[in-house]
Structure 1
Amino acid sequence: MVCIKSFIVLSVFSAVAAALPAFPQRREVPQEHSHEAILRTVRTTLNLNNPDKIVDPVFSLLGDAAAKQGAGSITDLACFQQAVADQAFTNAKTAGDSASMINALMFRAVERNTGGVGVKSALCTQTAKNPEVAAITQHQDPASDGAAATNKAIVLALAKEIAKLGGDPQLALQTGTFAPGSKSDNTGKGNSCDDANDATGCIISQKLLVEDATAAEINAAVAGISGSTGSGTATSTDCADATVTVTVTPTVTATVDTAATCAPPSSTVVVTVTAAPTARR
């Protein structure tokens, strides 16, 4: 009789467990909430239009086994994180929200978790719809081979894309990851944190973030972009001043004296204007 009761209890428990919603599988070292501020913003932007029915962006930062539970119609899990960033970027662009566009790019650069210390995450081989997203890939485990150079290149590429959008390129540094752990650590512990209740992001709040480049290196990388340099033309048919509207970010209007170019009557003036971008944090 005891055995029968035990069987009944186990059967009921199994049925209830099967009916429960699937949750992300917990690994020994979760870190998908380390950059919580970035995650929360991309979640809001993605939900403006989510055609792939992605359950939540956080799934794209997990290993494949857990990621597929929230991937919606995304089947190539190596491209899951890119798909989230790409759709969020599109939504923000449609809304004219440059700050959220920048955040989507930052999300694309965040490290995706893997099964152990020093293990690299697979790179997406599909091309993103937005070239800004396509220019970036995710950080790799800091203990993996060549990670320092790889992650530095990612941050510099991100800084350039942020600068093109008129943002503060130094924001790229906030996508950095942790100090490298030991590959011999079989527990996979590494150096990480995970706190869904820390709105800032525990990697920043706990001062665990290791910047991949210096501020000077960021400035050097965006030197030709961060000033938002543009050019425009104007044609003058008399000796009056010509007003030239230059397409830059932000838009700048320049006035050019054409007195010296009145002959021939129609002259073309090319103007280059450098305007400081507005930083968005």
Structure 2
Amino acid sequence: MKYQAILAFTAIGMAAAGPLPQRVKAREVPQEHSHNIFLDLVRTSLNLNNPKKIQDPVFGLLGNAAAAAGAGAVTNLDCLQQETADQAFTNAKAAGDIPGMAGALLYRAIERNTGKVGLASVLCTETAVNPEIAALSQHQDPASTNAASINKGIALTLAKQLAAIGADPLLALESGTFAPGDLNDATAKGNTCDTADDEPGCILSQNLLVLDASEAEISSAVAGITPTKFTGTLGGPAPPVESSTGSRPFSVNGNTFVNIGAAIQRSCDIQHNACANAANSGALAGGVGQCETQQSACVAANTAAKTKRAVDFGTCGSPTILFEAGLDGRNTEAFIAEDQTSYNHGSALNIAVIAGFICQRLDDSCKAAADVVASCTSASAAAVATTQNQAAADVFNSILGVGSGAGVAATTTAAAAVATAAASTTASSVVMTITQCA
């Protein structure tokens, strides 16, 4: 019965997680890959929104010296495992993703590596945001003092939390650890395994798991618990579009884009996928069709709002570039800055001339924000690399988050542009948060 639960959970978890990311192999210490199935689920949930830039859940299972390399903004390394689980649970809960939530709970409870057989790992003294995560601590080295009773208590508490979210409480038994090692083992390895590419994890596939409790004890512990039906928020919020560097100045969860429209589409796609997972798990009412409606609304709303991205052009107006015929008496289409008050330069057949002038003006006389100047440089490079027609103007304008323009006759003054910018934003960051469209 127990191993049937493992296989069912693995199938559900992998369907929700999608393709597995490449594993982190920066450091190999015994047993960090013993429960790979839980790391995979946490990795997928964490990647939906990772504000502290934790590199991978594997680092939360290492000793502090090794964990520091992948801790991101987490400073209390004794709590890295908890913080990783907490953020993953938050993301999975927002998506109504029960396998994702279960994975975060199970990950929080597995043993963290120490440097000696019989040495217990330090407990985190901070309180997790999610009470389900806060209720848990990690398993301890099976050769440490009172490990059997401590680990049994952890498994029973975990079973209760799993039951409360609607997951199989017997899965708590899979968070267990190995048989006690020899206290005189100078290698500090003990009875462990650490196979990076083993699914669902070598402790399970090699039958090395020692059960902390019986199935009857698990059933007794969860008796009377009514599962909470998590409705989520239609997959949770779409991840933000952030500023990047180089010729691809927008990023979403580490993926970079030249065009802000493509970045918005990617962000809304991520939200849609999370919504679909929630709907398919039965955690959301309305079915997948509700997710399709949400995705369309997400793209439409944020495309319309993209010119309200928090930018600071200093004392100058919008740096929109036009591509039109009849400019300066030309008999062919050419490029020109829409706002001739702020960027008073004649037309040119190559966008490099106009874009370069705009970027120089933003940097000197306009006194624009440094990140905006950097974005302008990226926009110029991307536009120059594009076919010299309307497409080049569109690339430049999209990267800077400005409109396509309505002709030179509609030129706005610098004062009007500054007033418009002030009304739409008070920040100077180039981070745009995608609006949740339920």
Residues 54, 73 of structure 1: 8 Å contact kept:
yes
Cα deviation for residue 25 of structure 1 reads 3.9
- Partner of 1:222 in structure 2? 222
Percent identity, please: 61
Cα deviation for residue 249 of structure 1 reads 4.8
Cα offsets for 1:228-264 (capped at 9, x unmatched) = 28xxxxxxxxxxxxxxxxxx6599xxxxxxxxxxxxx
In terms of fraction of residues, the more helix-rich structure is 2
- Partner of 1:16 in structure 2? none
Residues 23, 69 of structure 1: 8 Å contact kept:
no
- Partner of 1:203 in structure 2? 203
- Greater RCO structure (CA 8 Å; 6+ sep): 1
- Report SS of the residue matched to 2:90: helix
Distance 1:250 1:190 in 2: 40
Residues 195, 201 of structure 1: 8 Å contact kept:
yes
Q: Which runs of 5 or more residues in structure 1 are unaligned?
A: 1-21, 230-247, 252-277
Residues 24, 66 of structure 1: 8 Å contact kept:
no
- Partner of 1:120 in structure 2? 120
Amino acid at match of 1:64: N
Answering whether residue 112 of structure 2 is matched by residue 129 of structure 1, we say no
Mapping for residues 8-23 of structure 1, pairs under 5 Å: none
Cα deviation for residue 189 of structure 1 reads 2.3
Residues 59, 66 of structure 2: 8 Å contact kept:
yes
Cα deviation for residue 101 of structure 1 reads 0.6
- Report SS of the residue matched to 2:160: helix
Amino acid at match of 1:126: E
- Partner of 2:66 in structure 1? 66
- Partner of 2:187 in structure 1? 187
| Aligned Cα root-mean-square deviation (Å) | 2.2
Answering whether residue 33 of structure 2 is matched by residue 50 of structure 1, we say no
Distance 1:101 1:48 in 2: 13
- Partner of 1:79 in structure 2? 79
- Partner of 1:148 in structure 2? 148
Residues 165, 230 of structure 2: 8 Å contact kept:
no
- Report SS of the residue matched to 1:74: coil
Structure 1 25/196 Cα, relative in aligned 2: closer, same or farther at 3 Å? closer
Amino acid at match of 1:74: V
Residues 42, 100 of structure 2: 8 Å contact kept:
yes
- Report SS of the residue matched to 2:172: helix
Cα deviation for residue 166 of structure 1 reads 1.2
- Report SS of the residue matched to 1:102: helix
Cα offsets for 1:193-234 (capped at 9, x unmatched) = 011111211000000000100000000101121xx28xxxxx
Amino acid at match of 2:99: A
Distance 2:27 2:38 in 1: 21
- Report SS of the residue matched to 1:148: helix
In terms of fraction of residues, the more strand-rich structure is 1
Distance 1:151 1:218 in 2: 13
Q: Which moved more, 1:97-106 or 1:127-136?
A: 97-106
| Bigger Rg, structure 1 or 2 | 2
Cα deviation for residue 186 of structure 1 reads 1.4
- Report SS of the residue matched to 1:108: helix
Q: Which runs of 5 or more residues in structure 2 are unaligned?
A: 1-23, 232-280, 282-438
Cα deviation for residue 124 of structure 1 reads 0.3
Cα deviation for residue 102 of structure 1 reads 1.0
- Partner of 2:89 in structure 1? 89
Residues 108, 136 of structure 1: 8 Å contact kept:
yes
Amino acid at match of 1:170: L
- Partner of 2:160 in structure 1? 160
Answering whether residue 138 of structure 2 is matched by residue 138 of structure 1, we say yes
Residues 38, 106 of structure 2: 8 Å contact kept:
yes
Distance 1:84 1:195 in 2: 22
Distance 1:249 1:216 in 2: 25
